[in-house]
Chain A
Amino acid sequence: MKSETGFDPALYDRFPTQEERPTGELEELERIWRAPRGWGLLTAVNNNYVGVFYVGTAFLFFLLAGILALVMRVQLALPLQGILPQETYNQFFTMHGSVMMFLFAVPMMEALGVLLLPQMLAARDLPFPRLSAYAFWAYFVGGLCFFASLFVGLAPNSGWFMYPPLTSTAYSPGINADFWLLGIGFIEISAIAGAIEIIVGVLRTRAPGMTLAKMPIYAWAMLVFAVMIIIGFPAVILATLLLELERAFNWPFFDPTRGGDALLWQHLFWFFGHPEVYIIFLPASGLVSMMIAAMARTRLVGHDLIVLAFLATGFISFGVWSHHMFTTGMPALSIGFFSAASMAVSVPAGIQVFSWIATFAVGKPRFNAPTLFLLGGMVTFVIGGLTGVMVAMVPFDWQAHDSYFIVAHLHYVLIGGMVFPLFAAFYYWTPMMSRRALSERIGKWAFWLMFVGMQVTFWPMHLTGLMGMPRRVYTYLPGRDWEILNMISTFGAFLIGAGVLLFVIDLARNFRFAAEGAAGNVYEGGSLEWLPTGLYSARSIPVTKSREPLWDQPGLAQDVEAGRYFLPNAPTGLRESLATSPIRAEPQYLQIMPGPSLWPFLAAVFTAGFFMLLTVQAYLPSFACGVLMVVCMLRWLWDTDRRVPQDKVDVGAGIMLPTYVTGPGSHGWWAMVVLLVVIFMIFLMAVFGLLYLYGVHPQFWAPPTGVGWLSAILPAYAGAAGLAMLSRHMLAREATRLWTPGVLYALSAAALVAGIGIDLWSWLDSPIRPDASGQGATVFALLALVAMLAAVAVLMAGYISARNARGLIVRPSNNSLDLCVLFVGYAAAQGAVTAVLIRLFPWA
């Protein structure tokens, strides 16, 4: 048999082991993974807890944004009503969209990932539990503050798409827009943190033997989802950054009178915004594919095709953003391209739908609550897909765009593609973490109310739109036959509301959180999350031989519970899990996991405080929060990356694995690389901004500072990279005391600072100013990005020096140092490319 890592697959045959496990082992496992209680829950980092908090919070935002929608529907039920005045309505629809997209849909999908993935992969936890906790708390605190802006009348009021110049200071002088920019800003950070966690989790923590081909389809969906976040979110991160710079410091990125351009925002926003739809849909599709197989009691038909469809969707979705801009007066050639791509993206959707149909046809479906939600969701999604094809037809879009037809279309896609599958998932997976399953009877009622309500609300909107009603209007005049349609929509909205209310009642009656002793596999699914679990997840980590191990490996549950597989105990006495190889999931090393800690929670609170105080222009407290945030983060990191006394331990059946691995094989390295991809994408988007503005308004561009400066800048960056690599090199060999890695790394960071410092100096020496032209703004923005990297490198240097001084940087290699070296290497490269690029335009 082939092997990826040198691990001999024949070793799998040792499992299940036959000998009795020593007594006390299980109690030890329980003690190690015991969750904190009471207020201590704030320090919990285990995915069972964080996942449930996360799902609960996302659902809370779903309810809140839904209530906003109901009030808006009341306002629109009749023409010329005064229930919501114009300004309040504008805030309501902005918040409805923003909250549903940023505080409900994406976080909900990440939350489900945090909750379900470790169980499905039979990992003890996600690879970075404290990062999950941080991502959750930042989202929780920040999200609530963001929502609260509504109660003081300061909520954003320019639409969830925030088009400048409406959102520039000239037309939005209040801090409403800043709430959006900064509020969404850190929710993006939280989303990125979650995505890193998911990518590394899916690729490096699967149960042994669970090759990519045997991985549950949901894990595939989450992998593509997380990669799409990594590629797509940087665009909106950069866009919010640029707009905030324009608002705060008058840098004219979007002001055409000074060489900016309003459409730059739209390109950046939709480069994120359209993939966003698939970012929401793909995980839901993964959930659907899992549930259909279980509910139809058969294997998923067309599994490989669905995986291909996920990959194709992810790829194509980054080529369709401009279909939101068909009415901006785009050139015919680009219209053709984006129209074709927008249609092409419906092919993978078709594959998924027909695979689901095929699975139903092969299996023996049961019509339980999850099945109903699945079927209702699929039909609704198909309708949304068909209207999607309609609006991909450019001339039709010219009529339908920004009318209620689009409102209908997007709600069909998102409710059918994500919300109904989500409710199916609630019914299906609740028994995994609740003592009681939810009620089938209430579930069916909730479904029919929501399904009928959905059709009654949104079907008429197709017509309302084609009859001329634009979106985002707080009222309309009587006498155009819109009244009756609007009244019907409002009625339907309350049906949906009633359905959701029933579901909440069901939750209140039946949901009783239980990490141990949950109701279990009510619907007889075949994947690993239905193994009997405790807080440590599965007692032992099984060798996985198929996609539905519970169906195919008889006695698996008993063997797992009896500890007859990998890691039946805690050999180091700490929280730990198996790190496996990315393709064939061969066991590589024992990953030591951090336990409960207050620091991620505090870091999250200060992160939220930093952004929120910045919004209300309390600069000093905000700065203080920022400092505290960094301190808390460093403090939480300080505990990690420790070596344990045992270099190798027995992870079961005499298989010995190392407890500490450095270099490209370690999970930390993977996470750092993913993070660098994010930073690179932000940089790439900024470069796009530079080229775009030069392309549309070259008359505003002045000669850049001399190329001669490069002779000082480039060597500085090269020195930074070289010194960093040298520090890693020196750690591996015996070296003098003076040239410790800490000193070398500090010098490297200093070289980086010198590089960006010289570059900035050269521009301050020129007449080009950031607030004077689009050129100045983009050049200084690119420099600012490098400066931020340099600032982080300085922090890292302090951290590495401190660890070095405390003897925590141990020979021959150390993860903390490795990751910091990677970071500086990348930063130096971005600095060098930046320095060259900003001197290229205008072409002489």
Chain B
Amino acid sequence: MSQPISMARADAQAGWPASIFDPAGPYAGSVTTLSWILIAMSTAVLALVIFAFWAALFGNDRLKKRLGGTRAIWIGGVAFPVVVLTMLLIYGLTLTRNLTTPVPEEAMRVRVTGEMWWWRVAYLDPDGQPYMLDANELHIPVGRPVVLELESSDVIHSFWVPQLSGKLDMVPGRRNIMPIQADRPGVFGGQCAEFCGGAHALMGFVVVAHEPAAFDRLMAQRRAPRPQQAAEGGAALFREKGCAACHRIAGTQANGAAGPDLSHVAARRTLGAGILPNNQGTLMGWIGDSQSIKPGNRMPAYKMLSAQELQQLADYLGQQR
């Protein structure tokens, strides 16, 4: 039995969800506060109930008398929960409303589309048209809300980056809107949270938050026209071996849309949707036999490529930043 993702090691943690107790923005932060309140409340109620059990079984007669009647049931089983739950409900619904308040029109918009088992990322201009494509990684500026348009092109997925927000499903035929915001620079992992078949477990995601200036520089650099690249070595292999049928690289003739866009693949922190560190070795391994790393993924294994060809391809892709 082959051991999947055998190459993965602890340094490939970028594409994996982190604790909700370490929020990085307002949308997640208010839920973390709520979580602590709920945990404290539940602990208190549990302690009360356990005390009541203890008193009913081992307490003195006075305690037993208090507990042993319908009055105790009305107080403990009806009045107490109704009061507590009403307060909670008001708090919860207020918070729900705040979290779903529409963000300003001019906010940056990105369409994230769930695919089996990776994420298609399209940065949208004010008209809603994609101007830059990427996959499995999202760059956002710190301190500004970003609106995600969540869609699916096959089955139901769910977008979840715990440090930035709760999760929201990607349902085929529908578009769900989710605001996120990071208040500090950093790399925040996420993962698909709705079972989506085969390799659902290996469908990670990365959000990178930059200081605004750095973010603008990054975007400018990515949008700058690319120098013509020599059509030899890796570039030639990319075209000849069929890679271009599924993958796009901006500024070249490679224009496939079935698989992840590779225009900025070298800049990504991970490979295979969050599961491998991104370096020449993992890139070669992925191209040569991605099926043993992520069983069932849509990319065939290219076992016929020689080590030298793999290296040339990896070098070529290593230039796509």
Contacts and interface: CB of A to CB of B under 8 A. Distances in A.
Interface of A: 80-82, 85-87, 90, 157-159, 163, 165-166, 170-172, 256-257, 261-263, 301-302, 305, 327-329, 332, 335-336, 339-340, 343-344, 346-347, 350-355, 357-362, 365, 375, 378-379, 382-383, 386-387, 389-390, 392-399, 401-403, 466-480
Contacts of A165: 154-156, 172
B230 interface: no
Nearest to A335: B96
Contacts of A305: 70, 73-74, 77
Going nearest first, the 4 A-B pairs with the smallest beta carbon separation are A398-B166, A256-B173, A468-B17, A473-B201
19 contacts: A82-B3, A85-B4, A86-B198, A305-B70, A327-B168, A328-B176, A346-B81, A347-B78, A347-B81, A350-B78, A354-B72, A354-B73, A393-B38, A395-B34, A398-B166, A401-B166, A401-B193, A402-B194, A472-B195
A163 B35 contact: no
B219 to A, nearest CB: 28
B16 A329 contact: no
Given A395-B92, A396-B34, A80 B78 contact: no
B253 interface: no
A344 to B, nearest CB: 7
A340 B96 CA distance: 13
Given A301-B68, A351-B78, A86 B296 contact: yes
B176 A344 contact: no
A106 to B, nearest CB: 23
Contacts of B31: 395-396, 398-399
B16 A354 contact: no
B220 to A, nearest CB: 33
Contacts of B100: 332
Contacts of A390: 35, 38-39, 42
B288 interface: no
Contact of A86 (B4, B17, B19, B69): B4
B73 A302 contact: yes
Contacts of A477: 5, 8, 10, 12-13, 16, 275
Contacts of B296: 86-87
A257 B166 contact: no
A470 B193 contact: yes
Q: Which of B3, B8, B155, B195 has the most CB of A within 10 A?
A: B195
B245 to A, nearest CB: 21
Nearest to B192: A470
B173 A343 contact: no
Contact of A466 (B20, B156, B197): B20
Nearest to A89: B201
A321 B260 CA distance: 37
Given A262-B172, A327-B166, A332-B96, A476 B76 contact: no
Interface in B213-259: none
B68 A261 contact: no
A343 B192 contact: no
Contacts of B65: 361
Contacts of A378: 53
A369 B176 CA distance: 52
A172 B171 CA distance: 17
B168 A398 contact: yes
A713 to B, nearest CB: 34
A392 B165 CA distance: 17
Contact of B4 (A80, A170, A350, A386): A80
Interface string B283-317: 00000000000011000000000000000000000
B10 A478 contact: yes
B267 interface: no
A153 to B, nearest CB: 14
Contact of A351 (B8, B77, B93, B97): B77
B76 A350 contact: yes
Interface residues of B, number: 97
Interface stretch (B44-52, B121-129, B138-146, B179-187): B44-52
Nearest to A469: B17
A361 B67 CA distance: 6
B132 interface: no
Nearest to B166: A398
Contact of A389 (B49, B68, B88, B171): B88
Contacts of A473: 200-201
Nearest to B155: A166
A166 B195 contact: yes
B108 interface: no
Interface string B130-172: 0000000000000000000000001110101010011111011
Given A347-B81, A395-B92, 16 more contacts: A80-B8, A86-B198, A86-B296, A305-B70, A327-B166, A344-B85, A351-B78, A355-B77, A357-B72, A365-B57, A395-B99, A398-B165, A399-B28, A468-B17, A468-B20, A475-B5
Contacts of B21: 466-467
A262 B96 contact: no
Contacts of A163: 155-156, 194-195
A470 B160 contact: yes
Contacts of A354: 52, 72-73, 76-77
A402 B67 contact: no
Given A166-B196, A339-B92, A480-B18, A361 B42 contact: no
Contacts of A386: 42, 45-46
Nearest to B198: A86
A165 B114 CA distance: 13
Given A163-B156, A479-B13, A353 B77 contact: yes
Of the listed residues A329, A472, A475, the one surrounded by the most CB atoms of chain B closer than 10 A to its CB is A329
Given A355-B77, A357-B76, A396 B38 contact: yes
A468 B8 contact: no
B289 to A, nearest CB: 16
A463 B57 CA distance: 31
Interface string B72-95: 111011101110010011011101
A467 B85 contact: no
A262 B93 contact: no
B56 A361 contact: yes
A340 B93 CA distance: 9
B103 interface: no
A81 B13 CA distance: 17
Given A82-B3, A302-B73, A344-B85, A479 B199 contact: no
